[in-house]
Amino acid sequence: MLDPLDPLNPPMPNKQQIIAAFDPGGVGLDNGNIFGFPFSYDTADIIILGVPWEVTVSFHSGTAKGPKAVLDASPQLDFYDYDNPEGWKQGICMPPIPDWIEQKNGELRWRSLSGGESPAQKIVTATEQGQPLTDDLHTALKQVNDGCAQLNQWLLLKTRQALNAGKKVGILGGDHSVPLGALQALAEKYPDFGILHIDAHCDLRDAYQGFTFSHASIMRNAIALPQVSKLIQVGIRDVSHAEIEFAQSSNGRIRVHHDTALKRSRYQGTPWQTLCAQIVADLPPHVYISFDIDGLDPKLCPTTGTPVPGGLDLDEAFCLLREVADHREIIGFDLCEVGPDEWDGNVGARIIYKLCNLMGLSRSS
């Protein structure tokens, strides 16, 4: 046991001492924590869990490097936030990412242990060529689904741990399959909550390409949680017939705000602020934000996995998030599909910081 009077073992500074000693206008610190903030897990109110995972990607790769791109860019931000100028004082900490996640991602998606084609690559190739699943492919599919289930369980446990410690949690992917474990942990705490989903895609496919936890199936899996009473989707512009039918058959539980329809309303003179109020009106008091960066105009995320023309500008997205914070409590969030490029990381870091600051404001709403 440490002796607090021993000069060789001084007591750890408390949160107020850390805040008093930190200059938010100083040089960005390369200390391993997101934004270069001096907070530890114990002294932070918000925990960002990085998840470098893209096992089920079906187009461009690179989103597994998104957490690092955001982490590398984050100390270069200035920390005066116009919505919450003192928001940094909440304390934000991104713990080190376990090595096994990146290793397992590589084994399942990019290289098998024997050096041949990986299990996920086998499945993607077969489905894209219309081949039936052989016994070998069924084995590969089970490996992928088991690996994704392992990741979900890890994230469930880590999110539960943070929630039990009185903290809020944000998830930084990785492809959009990753936040399911966090949603499961929130479902243990909140009997009724909604999801505001910003995305170019509905992600309502049923086990896309056979992958139970596909990036294209995250909202199908999320809506399977009975605690999720509403799923409100914004910016959608690349969607399948089956997804439209699934949403329409949800008896109002799923509401899709297509990008084309939102733009048409704006062209006809409806202010964006009015549209944001209409969108948020359908959400219950507790809201989880699921932000796929490809919901933005691709100029802001050119190396994301599945870019689609159209989408929101950054200030438009922030206006919508601000409306949520003004009228609902944000109970958690994810940012996914950030590409490995420096510019994408820069934009992603700004989104994470805004989400943290608005989540802090929404606590007293």
pLDDT tens, position by position, 279-300: 999 999 999 999 999 999 999 9
Q: Who's near 171: CB < 8 A, 6+ residues apart?
A: 48, 49, 51, 155, 159, 178, 179, 182, 332, 333, 334, 335, 336
More confident residue, 352 or 139: 352
pLDDT attached to residue 135: 73
pLDDT attached to residue 2: 46
Set out the domains of the chain in order of their start, with CATH numbers: 27-97+152-362 (3.40.800.10)
Q: Kindly state the tokens that stand for 256.
A: 């899709």
Mean of the per-residue pLDDT values for the chain? 92
User: Using alpha carbons only, what angle is made at residue 96 by residues 341 and 340, rounded to the nearest 5 degrees?
Assistant: 10
* 8-state DSSP, 201: B
- How many angstroms separate the CA atoms of 167 and 4, rounded? 27
Residue 97 burial by CB count (10 A; 0-12/13-18/19+): exposed, middle or buried?
middle
pLDDT tens, position by position, 160-174: 999 999 999 999 999
Q: Which residues pair with 270 in a beta bridge?
A: none
pLDDT attached to residue 1: 42
CB-CB contact of 71 with 29 (8 Å): no
* 8-state DSSP, 110: I
Rounded to two decimals, the pTM is 0.93
Q: Which residues pair with 48 in a beta bridge?
A: 170
Tell me the pairing of strands 46-51 and 193-198: unpaired
Q: What is the mean pLDDT of residues 212-220?
A: 89
Is 175 in a helix, a strand, or coil?
coil
pLDDT attached to residue 12: 81
In the block, residue with structure tokens 């039990």: 164
**Alpha helix stretches (DSSP H) within the chain:** 15-21, 66-73, 99-105, 119-128, 135-164, 180-189, 218-222, 241-248, 259-267, 272-281, 314-327, 342-362
Residue 134's pLDDT band (cuts 50, 70, 90): confident
Q: Who's near 134: CB < 8 A, 6+ residues apart?
A: none
